[in-house]
Structure formats: C-alpha cells, structure tokens
Structure 1
Amino acid sequence: MKQILKIIIHSLYTHPEIFLRELISNAQDALNKARIEQLTNKNFSGTETSFEIKIQVDSKTNTFSIEDTGIGMKEEELINNFGTIARSGTLEFLEELKKKGSGSEAGLIGQFGVGFYSVFMVADEVVVETKHISPNAKAYRWKSMGESDFTIEEIEKSAHGTKIYFTFKENAKEFSEEYRLENIIEKYSNFADFPILLNNKQINKIGALWRKKSSETSDSELNEFYKFITNDTEDPLGHIHLSVEGAVVNFKALLFIPKEAPWDMTKWFNEKGVHLYSNKILIQRECKALLPDYLRFTRGVLDTIDLPLNVSREFTQDGPFMIKIKNILTDKILKFLDDWAAKEPDKYKIFYSNFGPLLKSGINSDYTNRDKLIELLRFESSLKGKGELVSLKEYSMRAKSGQNEIYYIAGDSREALEKRPNMEYFRKNDIEVLYLSDPIDMFILPGISEYDKKIIKSIEKEDISLKPEEKIEKPESAINKSLLALFKEVLTDRVMDVVESKRLVDSAVTLVAGKDSMDREMEKMMKMMNKDYRSSKKILEVNMEHPVIKGMSQKYIANSSDPLLKKYVLNLYEGALFVDGELKGDMAADYVRRVNEIMEQAISSK
C-alpha cells in the first residue's frame, strides 16, 4: 500500500497545484450531498449553517486549511473513504441515488476515490476533522503521513462538515501565498456551486452562465464572463449558447467569437480556445479535442457530466464521445457563421477580415464540412468596390448567360490586380473576376475546381473560355504569321509558345500559364517554400491590333532583318516579365540598357 500511495502521489498528477482543485471538488461534493439529504431525508435536517467552502492560508506559518459545511463522514465512512485506495464515497452515493430513481443532475464530481491523496504532493502530514450531518453524529479526527497507516480519534465538533489542514512541505511553500491560491481557484474552480472564501474573501464571483437558459442571461453578463475567461479587453463579436441532451452525449456550452484577432497571431493560431469542464470544475484549458484546428479562434467553455476522464481528471480519454462533441460543436459554429453571413453581413465581414484565413484552411482538411465552408468563402470582385466581399453563390447568380466558368486572378493587392493586362478583356466585356489577394486563397480556390456546375479558373491560364462571338477565328494574315514566327525565333528558349491574343485590349503582350501549369502566384509561393523550384515556361500572347505590334509589322515588311526588331521582341517580353514582377537581376539590367538603346536610336533618327 505504501508503494501504491507513492505512485499516486508522485506519478498520477502532472502539476502539484491540482491538490487544491481536488480538495475543492471533494468539498463541493460534500456540500451537494448535504443539500440533497436535506431535501430528500427528513432525518437530516442539518443545522442553520450556510453552504460554503472556507480556505485559510498563512505564508508566515506555512499552514493551510480548507473547511466545508457539507455532509461530513461517520467513523466507518472516514475509514473506508480515506483509508482505502480508489474507493469513491461519491460514486457510492450516486449509486444509492440511482436506486432511488434520482441523481442524474446531482452535480457530483468524484469518480475514482484518489483525488484526496493529491494533497500529499504538498504536505507530509494531513489532518482531517469531520462530523456527519445526521442527528447525534459524533466527530472524528483522521491523521496520516500518507504512507502505510493512519490514526482516528473522537473529538468535539459543533457543526457538521469536514476540515482538512496541514503544513506545506519545503518545496511547496509557494502555495502558502494567498495570490497563488487565488490564481488556482480562478483557474480550476471559479464556477463551483458554492462560495469559496480565501482568507474570508470570496473568490468565485462569476457564475456558470452556461448552466442558465439563454433567455436568462444579459449581454452585460455575457460580456463580463467572456472577458473573465479570455482576458480580452473588448466585448465579443457574438456568442453561441448550447444545451445538448441526447442518447450519446449531454453537454452545455457557451462559445464566443472574438471581435478582433490578437496582435500575436502566431500565438493565437497555436491556442485552442475552448475550456473543458466537468460539473463546473476545469479539466483542461484550451482542449484540442473539442474543435478542428480551423475553428480554434472560438473561445468559451464546455461542461459535461458524462466526460470520459483519466484517473487524475487532467486529461480526457479519446473515443466516440469526444468525436461526437467535436462534430456537434463544428456543425453549430458553422451554422452560426452561415446565419451571420445571411442576416448580418456587416458582422460577418468583421469576423472574416480577422479569422478568414484560419477558416479557409478547413477547406482542405475537413472534407465532411467542405461544402459548408465553401459557402462561407468571400472575395473581393471586379464588379464591387474596394472592401466589398462576394460569395461564390452571388457570383454564380449574376454570371452572364452562357458563362460556364468562375474567373479569378491572384496577386498581392487589388490595385496591382486591376492593372494586369489579363484583366482587359474582362473589364471591356463587364465579366466579373474574383480578386485573390490572401495567399491562402491560392491553396484553396483552385482545389475546389467547380461550383454550381461552373469551372473555377484563373484568367491567367491559356484555356479560358471567351464569349462565343469572340471565338470566331479570323484568317491570320501572312505578315502576322511571319511576325509571330519572329517572336518564336527570338524567344525560343524562354517561352512555351507565342500566339495571337484574344484577351488583350490595351496592352501589346502578356504572359499566361499553360493549361496544365501553375499560374504565377502559385509558382511564387512554391519558390518561397523551395528556393530551387524552377518556374515553368509561359505562353506569350501578342495583341496584333496594338499600335506597337502594327508598327513592328510595317518595319518587318520594310526590312525583316532589321536588328531593332529583335530588340523590340526582347523588350516586349521582358516588359511582360516586369509587369509580373519576374524581371530581376541581370535581366533587369539588360532590359534598362536595351530601352536606352532604343530611345537613343529613336532620338537620333529624328
């Protein structure tokens, strides 16, 4: 038994501070038992004492005591509960209640009968004084060093309940400081059913709002509660109040959507914001098992009486129960956001500007809820003003007759995207293009591939579909063929192909990706992840109606061997690279030098 006790004391619990949570939990169970007995058993009327938990600590004497006005223990219960490892008086009490047809909402915590022994992590000798609530009950003192034996003696005690006291070990003196205990109480036991007094000051002043009905809570209460559990200074953007009762799971939850993401996004993205409780006692902060990663901006609490815990009650056990809770929470949060998007678009816009990148990451990780997440996506658009967002559904509903594609273009900013040559055709024909300026968009939108039977496609790919009337091929003139052949000859090792453009309006040339190639933004990200990544060759499209190209045609007719023609071709190609942000190093220097040469020749010819 001595060896088993050592295992429990030194190996079962991760943090010594847990001792206080366990003692408070035991005291809460004792108070709940007393309340139940007073309501159901006329013989246990009790005295006129109030139900509360009193804690006294003195850093000077290094002493601690915790006292409750609960049910107390008889001598045989004291021997069985404290003298027998893993015997749970609470579990036995619940079994008796079940036999009587009640007890499911008793609010009792103890399950394993080992929580009390955590006190020996911080104390060498522990004394327990107790008196049962029943009439004419005697009082007893239990004392042990937490090893192989204990002593019990009869004492005088006026009120029913239990008091536990001891002196801290040398290596546990930190817990004799009042502020340290206050922090532990607020962390683990703030929502206990009964007042917790620390050196005569009540610590747990904020109630467990998740246990109330939604109609019984005010906005001010919810805001205060949110700030308490998150340390945020701003009110939340919104909240979700849940009470789930089913055959598989039962739980209550109060979840919040923050108004702003904190400045330290790296830290935020590593946090899991929902705290897990069992009967109002904290089991795990930021429980990872409750939500998928892409919803970890959610803050709040979840409380369940059915929680499958490990013996130390510090961790949950994996299994269908936790998966079911996770699925329910995910569904409720996504439905809540969908309602915002439909009924309160301004509020959803605030949310999306802060947490959109995180939400989007679920597209490629949660295939069960993929369709729901796709409906929550928002983008800026060429048909809307700066800052206005549209959904794929809105795009599809106002697409032009016969348009079978949803078009997008990706880049660093809206301003840069609007100036891209590849936007000219779409702007001229008033065809909507989605602007993707968030880097994560490039990882998700192409992967969706289709929405509402419309193919999702980058306008910077060669195989975009134009209007039917625009597809009518005009006979290509001999001079155009020859000029394009010159482009191909000069750029033979630099491009995949050179073709006549059907999309350019104001620009002379543009570069587009091949049908099976990545577009420029995806390649840019690939280079960021792999410095050795080599971009694929692009297709150069030439606007044969542009004045510069027509001028080149005339010069070609006059003298197809004119050395300026080659310089023009190179400058047009490198100018396209410059627009794409790909003209760097020696190429940039050559480009500037060549521009100067052409200008010099043009000036001298005048």
Structure 2
Amino acid sequence: MGATKETLGFQTEVKQLLQLMIHSLYSNKEIFLRELISNASDACDKLRFEALANADIYGDDADLKIRVSFDKAARTLTISDNGIGLSRDEAVEHLGTIAKSGTREFFSALTGDQAKDAHLIGQFGVGFYSSFIIADRVTVVSRRAGLAADQAVRWESAGEGDFTIEPAERAGRGTDVILHLRDGEDEYLSGWKIRSIIRKYSDHITLPILMKKEQWDAEKSEQVTTDEDETVNQASALWARPKSEISDEQYTEFYKHVAHDFEDPLAHVHARVEGKQEYTQLLYIPARAPFDLWDRNARHGVKLYVKRVFIMDDAEQLMPLYLRFVRGIVDSNDLPLNVSREILQESKDIEAIRGGCVKKVLGLLEGLADSDDAAEKEKYAKFWKEFGRVLKEGVGEDFANKERIAKLLRFASTHADTADETVSLADYVSRMKEGQEKIYYVTAETFTAAKNSPHLEIFRKKGIEVLLLSDRVDEWVTGSLTEFEGKQLQSVAKGGVDLGALEDEAEKEEVAKAADEYKELLDKIKGALGDKVKDVRVTLRLTDSPSCLVSDEHDVGGNLSRILKAAGQKAPDFKPILEINPQHPAVQRLKYENSDEGSRFGDWANLLFEQATLAEGGTLDDPAGFVRRINELMLALSGGGR
C-alpha cells in the first residue's frame, strides 16, 4: 500500500448519481441510516461466510455487531461494524466506482422526474452514497480481515468530483463510516431520533445494533451518554419469527433491506416447510420492474441462508429465470454450511427447494389474480404491467407448471379498446361463440399493428374475439402453448381460414367458385411476383383489404422471421402466401389489366404484395420502387388511364 495520501476522481456515473441522489431523496433523507446499517450487516455476513472456510479469520473478536454513535461537539454520526472490512483497492473500487452491470441502462432509464428517479436509485443499490444527503463530508476508515492494524485505509470525500485515500490504523477489522453533518442536520445528533429510525427501518437486522445508553443529566438539563451498551433492535432473523408476531411494516422494511428498493413491495409470501426438506422462505414481488429486468444473465434476487447463516447473495439456482424479479430469502436447515454455487447446481435438496419456491410464488400470483377483492385484482394488474412479459417466458421454460402459468397470462384483445385492457385465456374461452372451437390470435410488432391487421376482417364481421399479441416473447408463448382447456390456439395468419361451425356453406362455395374463376389470374400474379411468394390464392378472410400475407401452417410466420433477423439470428427461409380478396376493386382492376396487352400488370401485382407486406409490419426490399409504382399509377389514373 502506498504511504502517501492520494486524490482520485470519481467515476463519471458516481458524480451523476451523487447529484441526483442528494436532490431526489432529500424528502426521505433518514433512509441513509437504513442503507448504512444494511451495508454493515452485509459486511458481517460476508465475514461469517469466509469464516466457514477459515475460522481463524475471527481472531479474538467473534461476536459480530454494528455500533451507532454520535459526537455533538464534532457534529459527527458514526456507523461501525466488525465485518469483513475493505482493503485499499477495495475502497477505491467499491466507494469510487460503480462496477455494477447495467450501469448504462440505469442512467438511460432516468427520467428527470425526481420521484420516479428516486425509485430507480433505490433499485440500483447504491446505499453508501445516500450518506451525502445529510453529510457534506464522509470519512471511511476500514481494515480488511486478515490485514495488520497499520494496513487500514482512510477514504474521504465531500461528495463532489473526487476523494482522497491514505494509509491509516484501526485496532480491529471492520469499517467506520463517519458522517460530518451538514448545517441544519442536528436532529441526527439526538439519541432518541437515531433509535427511532433504527427501530423503524432496521429492527429486522439479525446482528445486534448497539448504542450507548443515555440518562438524564439534571445539571446540564439534557440526555448524556453512559459507558453501558444497549441493543436497539430485536437482533433476530425476522423470517424465523412466527408470522403472527411480524407486522406489515416489518415485512416491508425487511424487503427494502434485501431488495435495496425504496418502494414498498406489491405482495409477499412467508412459509416454513417441514418434511423431507426443512426450510423457510420469505419471498416478495416488487411493485416496479428493475431497470435490468431484461438482462437474463443478471443475478437474481434471492439470498440463501443455512441455519440463519448467510451463504450467498443472488442464488440463481433457487428461482427460475422467468421469476427473476422475485426478491427475498431462503433459509435451509439441511444444506451444508460450506455449500457452493457448484454444489447447488447438483443438489437434489436445492431442486426440491426451488420447486417449492416456484409453487409459492405462482400461488401468491394466483391469489391476487383470482381474488374477488378489487384491491387485490388491481395489484395483479399492476404486477402484469411490470412483469407480465417475463412471466410469459415460463410457458416454454417450465413444463411442469405450464398450465398454472397459462392461467396467469393476460393479453390484449379485440374485446377491449386499449393495450392496457387485458383478458385471460379463461375470459376468452367463457366468451367464445357457440360452435367456436379455437382460440384465435394474431401476432405483430406493435399493438396498433395487431389491432389493424387485415387478417382480422372476417373475424370482426362475424364478431369473433381475437387475441392481439405484440410482445416479442408472444411468438415463443404460442409456440409452446398450443391449447388451453382443450381449445387449440390458432394464428389467424397461418394456414387457411378455418372457422369451423362458424363458417357458412354459402361462403365456402363462394371462395371455391372464385378460386376457379380467378385461376388464370392467380397463376399470372404468381408469375409476376416470382420467388417473392410461395403461392397466390383467393381468401375468405378479407372483407375490406385487397390482399394479405399468410404463412403455411407449419412455416415460421412473418413476424417471428423479422424478430429473429432483428436479433441477428438466422431465420429459416420464409416465403409467404399472398391471399387476394376477389371482391375488392383493386383486384377487379388487376383482372381487367390481365386482359390488356399494354398493361401495367406487373406493377399492380407488386403493389398488392407490397401493401400486404406493409400492412403486417414488414419492410420492403425496394421502397423506392414501391413509391415509383404508386406515383406512376396515380398519374395514369388521374390522366384518364385505365
């Protein structure tokens, strides 16, 4: 370690974050103490975990604890722990930079709205920097476990552009965070105020949080500290207490501790499982999606404990990817204390715990979705808006629970007016017309494109509800979920239109007659379009549009093909089928052009294909050619051309 004091610059993102935090969180500034105590608790957890492999790391200081003290004369508030501590390099890394994945996504998600941004700051888990809400200078003195007393480090900053770092001495391992209070923040020099904040926000911390007892000094007419310690919090694992002894407020504050979230959770489930495996689970559904929700490689939010000893953060083996938004803890009585991530991957006990956690989370969601209580239903609607697209991944990933997940799915539909008004598959089935045998859906890149798809025309005419699927994941959902309650899911843009008993014989005969009548025309259109199409045929599905594109029943659809290409993946060769509406004036015009030797037949045929491509959200290979054809035909028609 260098023997001199150095001044180093903060990472750019830290500077941004400090300014943002001080302004955004000032209205709830007392949370700084919760964040610092939470960090101290984590540092002790990490020491306890390292001690599993090296018991000597405790030295002669095996009782882990957190201490909070204040000095009225110096106007400082200090949070100390005897946890893992920081080396010089760790102090620079953890206190001067944000090495967290998703940093860029975090900053791009900021809105400038202080209330909204405050939630994002909480999600990002940058609790240490909240010190600067009430302090104009912060000093950190830390000694890494295993290092000598003279190998401690002193870090200091005024929370602006830089910080200093220099060698220091500390008698024992651990960390002191010393806040030099800003003018006007003297309320944090009150023992009563600090105790009330700790009991409000940090009562669940499993380690004792110590303060010096206070007593009334009649001569000074004020409270003075004594030499005697007292434990301010309950200092017992909240999840190990009976549910009847835990208040809603305590559940909420524990969530904020484990999730690093400033917002209350949407719902939670707390259960003790006994039998072949014994474990406790306390799992939460957040109210808001984290900014890195779509990073499937990001660590998950469930902490693993064994017999109340912290083992690891973000134990991804405890929760499948499609439930990566769940936060909380699992405490096992059966796993070995020296369990590693590698052991977890092979453990049958973990498989059983994971299965139990999934069932509890799905049960919690079912309780909200199926509740007769309007407030609970509203919670599920909020959950779906935030996390629905992620839950959909479970249809293809969790075969054992596919039916349960299917019942929780919500989709936009022609039955509703907006994308936010969603229906369940059970809702859809309950409204199916007499004789209807299938659940119909259409996929598109956007809700508007789905709602206005020409494929819906015959369904609108007959009053048949169609699900409007515009999330990218919906293509995988419909690939995995082929039926619901015995009703087959059918894309309205695949294969021929099969309305079953809803189709009348007269319509069938009309299409068959048109197919014969237009055979020559269909062949000529196919010849004009060449390898752009697989086939050309007349259709029953159109009432207003001249044409549309469909795919064969077992082919990759146009929307999925576009999604794969946009993701840089190789899409299977896809040639659409062009369907034409024989009753449409444009098709009638094309029939007329077919009999004219000097016609623009090829232009008309290409226009039918290009319009159909655009209508379903596709892109044209030759947009300039499309514009030219449109202009030429408009000029010809306006000039009295045929």
TM-score band w.r.t. shorter chain: 0.5 to 0.7
Q: Structure 1 residue aligned with 2:238, among 200, 204, 209?
A: 209
Report if the CA contact (8 A) 2:81-2:175 is conserved. Answer: no
- How many Å apart are 1:381 and its aligned residue? 0.8
The answer to whether 1:332 aligns with 2:360 is: yes
CA distance in 2, matches of 1:222, 1:250: 22
Report if the CA contact (8 A) 1:27-1:53 is conserved. Answer: no
- How many Å apart are 1:24 and its aligned residue? 10
Q: Structure 2 residue aligned with 1:543, among 581, 595, 609?
A: 581
Which residue does 2:98 correspond to in 1?
Answer: none
1:2-45 deviation line (CA, Å, top 9, x unaligned)? xxxxxxxxxx97599987996799548xxxxxxxxxxxxxxxxx
CA distance in 1, matches of 2:367, 2:322: 18
Q: Structure 1 residue aligned with 2:599, among 528, 548, 563?
A: 563
- Where do residues 105-184 of structure 1 align in structure 2 (5 Å cutoff)? 121-122=146-147, 175=173, 177-179=175-177
CA distance in 2, matches of 1:534, 1:307: 46
1:110-148 deviation line (CA, Å, top 9, x unaligned)? xxxxxxxxx9834599xxxxxxxxxxxxxxxxxxxxxxx
The answer to whether 1:255 aligns with 2:283 is: yes
Report if the CA contact (8 A) 1:479-1:553 is conserved. Answer: no
Report if the CA contact (8 A) 2:149-2:170 is conserved. Answer: no
Report if the CA contact (8 A) 1:250-1:304 is conserved. Answer: yes
- Where do residues 196-595 of structure 1 align in structure 2 (5 Å cutoff)? 207-246=236-275, 248-266=276-294, 270-310=298-338, 318-343=346-371, 344-386=376-418, 387-466=420-499, 467-469=502-504, 472-474=508-510, 475-476=513-514, 479-530=517-568, 533=571, 535-556=573-594, 559-585=595-621, 587-595=622-630
SS in 1 for 2:600: helix
- How many Å apart are 1:603 and its aligned residue? 2.2
The 1:26–1:510 alpha-carbon spacing in structure 2 relative to 1, beyond 3 Å, is same
The 1:340–1:25 alpha-carbon spacing in structure 2 relative to 1, beyond 3 Å, is farther
SS in 2 for 1:270: coil
1:377-412 deviation line (CA, Å, top 9, x unaligned)? 111111123111112222122212222221111112
SS in 2 for 1:177: strand
CA distance in 2, matches of 1:324, 1:533: 38
CA distance in 2, matches of 1:395, 1:460: 19
CA distance in 2, matches of 1:328, 1:253: 9
The 1:289–1:490 alpha-carbon spacing in structure 2 relative to 1, beyond 3 Å, is closer
CA distance in 1, matches of 2:498, 2:458: 11
Report if the CA contact (8 A) 1:21-1:189 is conserved. Answer: no
What amino acid is aligned across from residue 349 of structure 2 in structure 1? Answer: F
What amino acid is aligned across from residue 566 of structure 1 in structure 2? Answer: G
What amino acid is aligned across from residue 411 of structure 2 in structure 1? Answer: F
1:61-91 deviation line (CA, Å, top 9, x unaligned)? xx9999xxxxxxxxxxxxxxxxxxxxxxxxx
Report if the CA contact (8 A) 2:67-2:81 is conserved. Answer: no
Overall identity of the aligned pairs, in %: 31
Report if the CA contact (8 A) 2:271-2:280 is conserved. Answer: yes
What amino acid is aligned across from residue 607 of structure 2 in structure 1? Answer: N
The 1:313–1:403 alpha-carbon spacing in structure 2 relative to 1, beyond 3 Å, is closer
Report if the CA contact (8 A) 1:53-1:196 is conserved. Answer: yes
CA distance in 1, matches of 2:516, 2:316: 68
Report if the CA contact (8 A) 1:25-1:281 is conserved. Answer: no
Report if the CA contact (8 A) 2:407-2:426 is conserved. Answer: yes
Which residue does 1:154 correspond to in 2?
Answer: none
Report if the CA contact (8 A) 1:363-1:373 is conserved. Answer: yes
Report if the CA contact (8 A) 2:551-2:577 is conserved. Answer: yes
TM-score normalised by length of structure 2? 0.64
What amino acid is aligned across from residue 413 of structure 2 in structure 1? Answer: S
Which residue does 1:599 correspond to in 2?
Answer: 634
1:553-572 deviation line (CA, Å, top 9, x unaligned)? 3454xx34242233212211
TM-score normalised by length of structure 1? 0.68
The 1:217–1:452 alpha-carbon spacing in structure 2 relative to 1, beyond 3 Å, is same
The 1:458–1:171 alpha-carbon spacing in structure 2 relative to 1, beyond 3 Å, is farther
CA distance in 1, matches of 2:342, 2:550: 56
The 1:65–1:219 alpha-carbon spacing in structure 2 relative to 1, beyond 3 Å, is closer
The 1:271–1:25 alpha-carbon spacing in structure 2 relative to 1, beyond 3 Å, is farther
CA distance in 1, matches of 2:532, 2:240: 68
Report if the CA contact (8 A) 1:273-1:296 is conserved. Answer: yes
What amino acid is aligned across from residue 473 of structure 1 in structure 2? Answer: E
Report if the CA contact (8 A) 2:204-2:254 is conserved. Answer: no
CA distance in 2, matches of 1:201, 1:315: 40
The 1:306–1:124 alpha-carbon spacing in structure 2 relative to 1, beyond 3 Å, is farther
- How many Å apart are 1:242 and its aligned residue? 0.7
SS in 2 for 1:493: helix
SS in 1 for 2:490: strand
CA distance in 1, matches of 2:297, 2:232: 31
SS in 1 for 2:442: strand
Report if the CA contact (8 A) 1:276-1:284 is conserved. Answer: yes
What amino acid is aligned across from residue 521 of structure 1 in structure 2? Answer: N
1:475-529 deviation line (CA, Å, top 9, x unaligned)? 3486523322321231232211111111000011111112221111111122123
The 1:534–1:239 alpha-carbon spacing in structure 2 relative to 1, beyond 3 Å, is closer
Report if the CA contact (8 A) 2:303-2:330 is conserved. Answer: yes
The 1:315–1:515 alpha-carbon spacing in structure 2 relative to 1, beyond 3 Å, is closer
Q: How many residues are paired up?
A: 466
CA distance in 1, matches of 2:563, 2:279: 43
Report if the CA contact (8 A) 1:409-1:433 is conserved. Answer: yes
Report if the CA contact (8 A) 1:189-1:282 is conserved. Answer: no
What amino acid is aligned across from residue 602 of structure 1 in structure 2? Answer: L
CA distance in 1, matches of 2:265, 2:443: 32
CA distance in 1, matches of 2:637, 2:345: 79
Report if the CA contact (8 A) 1:192-1:281 is conserved. Answer: no
The 1:495–1:270 alpha-carbon spacing in structure 2 relative to 1, beyond 3 Å, is same
1:188-227 deviation line (CA, Å, top 9, x unaligned)? 9974375556995858566532122223222222212211
Report if the CA contact (8 A) 2:590-2:605 is conserved. Answer: no
- How many Å apart are 1:579 and its aligned residue? 2.0
Report if the CA contact (8 A) 1:283-1:313 is conserved. Answer: no
